[in-house]
Chain A
């Protein structure tokens, strides 16, 4: 076997082992750490499958932000009185969850292994259409040009998720701020990390947004990194989660899908169809939409992690 095949085999075994450990872990914290580790390993697998955009998204959202969401919520639920944290799941759940997971995995494996040889693909057509859009990255072209309506609806789903999380608050807290993300007394090392890492992270996030038109990157990954930087600053208590009723926050949350929808509705006037971009002017419009998408995603993800408001709006 060639070296590459040995490497692939080793990587696959490692991923399966970490996944198995994550499932078998007894406590929430341990399983979330296993999940983050699994996600980081999976991004290496994506690179082996020649998909750097997916690798970045996996590392950013799949393991980074989701892991933090799970562990932060788990830590908060641990302190809540009414949750029976140590009751093991019932026998039917223990069989149903793994059974369904195995079923989905088997279906995916069957689909991939039974693909016709060579597999039918639209990749050549997608690449041919790139010249008209002016972009160099086919993933961005698919997301914002070929299937733009779909991507806009995904952003609306994010807004709905935030509304859902906020609606968990009792009536007297509506409009107030969520509880602080960090501990009462942050250490000095964390403040030093803020000064050293966060400006760099903001720069990398903006760079990923800008370069996503032609190379791996894009709005979602850039927004996730900016969100991570804001969350670091909130964890070190340098800034607190904003009031849920604040107008700037709400405007920032809807800016992405609103601008996207506005451009789509202006399509009939500009280029003759809903969500059509005028030829030759497509790339600036796409970057314009993506800028607001980055803003929305960077504001939505920390609000999801921060949770429902726990303070009343006016003292």
Chain B
């Protein structure tokens, strides 16, 4: 059963890698932002599978934290993207 979990984790990492190639190449900021979503979902899945296969304890909290932080990073990246981000610093004595 452990082997099945590791194969599934490897497969998911492979899909993440393929997705990353497409997403990081994509012209413009909007495509690149999707990398965080991709890694959030794929990372959680492979994290849980690997931890269950190699018996690492307490990894559910890591997965929860990863989910929250992927969401937070996505929000902050959208906020700071090229088109009208947060208020800029002034040039003179800023």
Contact of A71 among B7, B58, B80 (CB under 8 A): B80
A40-B56 contact in complex given A29-B32, A56-B61, A183-B86, C-beta closer than 8 Å: no
A40-B65 contact in complex given A21-B24, A80-B90, C-beta closer than 8 Å: no
- How far does the Cβ of B63 sit from chain A's closest Cβ, in whole Å? 9
Whether A80 contacts B91 by the Cβ 8 Å rule is yes
A44-B43 contact in complex given A37-B35, A67-B73, C-beta closer than 8 Å: yes
Interface of B is mostly: helix
Contact with A along B39-63 (1 / 0, CB 8 A): 1100100110011011011110110
Cβ contacts under 8 Å, A168 to chain B: 94
A79-B61 contact in complex given A201-B68, A228-B69, A232-B75, C-beta closer than 8 Å: no
Whether A3 contacts B65 by the Cβ 8 Å rule is no
Whether B66 contacts A43 by the Cβ 8 Å rule is yes
Whether B87 contacts A310 by the Cβ 8 Å rule is yes
Cβ contacts under 8 Å, A190 to chain B: 75
Cβ contacts under 8 Å, B33 to chain A: 33
Whether A3 contacts B10 by the Cβ 8 Å rule is yes
A81-B47 contact in complex given A67-B73, A68-B76, C-beta closer than 8 Å: no
Verify if A144 is at the interface (C-beta below 8 Å from B). Answer: no
Verify if A263 is at the interface (C-beta below 8 Å from B). Answer: no
> Once the chains are docked, how many angstroms separate the CA of A75 from the CA of B87?
8
Contact of B80 among A4, A14, A72, A228 (CB under 8 A): A72
Contact of A235 among B9, B14, B79 (CB under 8 A): B79
Q: Size of chain A's interface in residues, with CB distance under 8 A?
A: 76
The interface stretch among A57-65, A126-134, A158-166 is A57-65
> Once the chains are docked, how many angstroms separate the CA of A55 from the CA of B76?
21
- How far does the Cβ of B67 sit from chain A's closest Cβ, in whole Å? 9
Verify if A261 is at the interface (C-beta below 8 Å from B). Answer: no
- Closest chain A residue to B84 by CB distance? A183
Whether A56 contacts B6 by the Cβ 8 Å rule is no
> Once the chains are docked, how many angstroms separate the CA of A36 from the CA of B65?
14
Whether B56 contacts A76 by the Cβ 8 Å rule is no
Contact with B along A182-218 (1 / 0, CB 8 A): 1110000010010001001100100110010001110
4 closest A-B pairs by beta carbon, nearest first, are A79-B88, A81-B91, A64-B69, A75-B85
Known contacts A75-B86, A183-B85, then 10 further A-B pairs from the complex at CB < 8 Å, ordered by chain A residue: A4-B6, A33-B33, A43-B66, A44-B50, A48-B50, A56-B66, A67-B73, A216-B62, A221-B65, A231-B72
Q: Could you pull out 30 A-B pairs where Cβ atoms are within 8 angstroms? A: A6-B10, A10-B14, A21-B24, A32-B77, A33-B33, A33-B36, A36-B35, A37-B20, A52-B56, A52-B61, A59-B62, A59-B65, A60-B69, A72-B76, A72-B79, A75-B80, A80-B89, A80-B94, A81-B92, A168-B94, A170-B93, A179-B87, A181-B79, A183-B79, A183-B86, A197-B68, A204-B65, A215-B57, A216-B58, A221-B65
